[in-house]
Amino acid sequence: MLLVQKDTNSKERLMLTLRLFISLALLFLSGSTMAGYSVFDQPLSYPGGVGMTDIISTDLNNDGFADLVIANTGSNSIDVMLNAGDGTMLPRNSFNVGTVQRAIAAIDLDADGDLDLAVVTGGSVPNLVILLNSGNGTFQVGASYDIGDFTLAIEAADLDSDGDQDLIIANWTAGTVTVLINDGNANFPTIVNYSVGSANAPGVHDVAIADMNGDNNQDIIVAHEGDANVVILLNDGFAEFSIGETIGLSSGAVSIRVSDFDMDGNQDIATTIAATGTVALIFNNGNAVFDAPIYIVVGEEPKDLAVGDLDNDGDVDIVVTDNTSTSNDLVSILWNVGDGTFDIPDVYESGANMPLSVTISDFDGNGTLDLAVCHFLTFANSQVTILNNLLPTSSPVNCPCCTAGPGDLNGDTVLDIADLVHLVSFMFSGGLPPICE
């Protein structure tokens, strides 16, 4: 007969045993190292503006908490929602900039230590408006520029290595990328357009910025929906660009993000392809030479994506919005196994229909990354939801305790019935503890 061995640490032993048993059971039942560990709280909902199209998160009032900025196509304004300090948002403040809004970037354009806003429009002139931060999350309208027709996306980076933040804009109709060089005072006297598609082909939908070839210069990565490809614009170090590799896709690219997904030191690419319901992963072999795309099915019409380490295991995960119809409220999480391969997507209710844009930040200050989603319910009815992450900040959740590997309790590098035997022996007969941190 087996006897339960009593000891002074029985409570701790029991808790450890339960944790290990649950983790091992989930691994056996699901076949996935991440299944069951992704936990978000019930969505917090806030009324939005008219026709929301973009949402970003950053600290606008220097209080250490992530705030929200939202672009509204229907009210000619951007909305600022300041964080109350506990993950909830204060009522939104609207700033009218006189034109239809499409996308936003938050950067310190005038070097005063506060994050300003650069806003692009979908078609009205001016196409770019600068909003200067007063230091407390309120804004004054600065310079404006006529860039091009139907500008859809904007990013910022120091392209000429002078310490100032420059701007990069995607122009849908013209099929171009516009580069604006900052003079240090939030003025942009140098404006250059780069054609990135076939002649007169519209469809530049999004841009991302990263050093793709390891020369310490910021390059531009372009999602071209019209030409169904991703185009790399290589920076010569003086903010002058030439086309590098062009990567063909199964269909048109919509949103694009860059990160080192396989942890090899090179920046890789993820882009949504709405027409095929997939995310394309494009791995960088170094020096901006890329593998053929790998496609992951995610939702019916993936729109926006964001990247970050949602489970605190040291690698970068992907969040995707599914903008299918008014009956859909889903976002998908692609959990990175650690080598650039991803588990089958986990799907979460985002709290409202038609999730369009998503951003990631630690809104509640607990050390884990949360989600904020803007929803285009109808043109006159939009909503913002926040999904706070309930995962612990310590110990990677894909390996809750054991260092040898997820569920490998006896340390033999094989996940099998022997691990269960090892666990039962530890529980009931005083056997050796699992191989743990």
Please count the other Cβ atoms lying within 10 Å of the Cβ belonging to residue 305: 24
The Cα–Cα gap between 280 and 278 comes to: 6
Q: CA nearest 128: which of 92, 98, 159?
A: 98
Each residue's pLDDT tens digit, 83-112: 999 989 999 999 988 677 789 999 999 999
Report the share of the chain in percent with pLDDT over 70.
Answer: 78
Q: Are 67 and 80 in contact (CB under 8 A)?
A: yes
pLDDT of residue 137: 95
pLDDT above 70 for 409 = no
Q: CA nearest 422: which of 401, 398, 396, 397?
A: 401
Each residue's pLDDT tens digit, 124-177: 666 899 999 999 999 999 999 988 778 899 999 999 999 999 999 999 888 999
Place of tokens 């929906």: 225
**Phi, psi for residue 134 in degrees, rounded to 5:** -80, -5
If one compares 300 and 229, the residue with the highest pLDDT of the two is 229
The Cα–Cα gap between 343 and 33 comes to: 8
Enter the pTM of the model. 0.83
The Cα–Cα gap between 233 and 34 comes to: 36
For residues 284-311, give the mean pLDDT. Answer: 94
Taking the mean position of all CA atoms in its chain, how far away is CA 337?
17
Q: Which residues contact 67 (CB under 8 A, 6 or more apart)?
A: 57, 58, 59, 60, 61, 80, 81, 82, 83, 89, 137
Please count the other Cβ atoms lying within 10 Å of the Cβ belonging to residue 204: 33
Phi-psi region of 356 (alpha: psi -120 to 50; beta: other; left: phi over 0): alpha
pLDDT of residue 38: 44
Three-state DSSP class for 235? strand
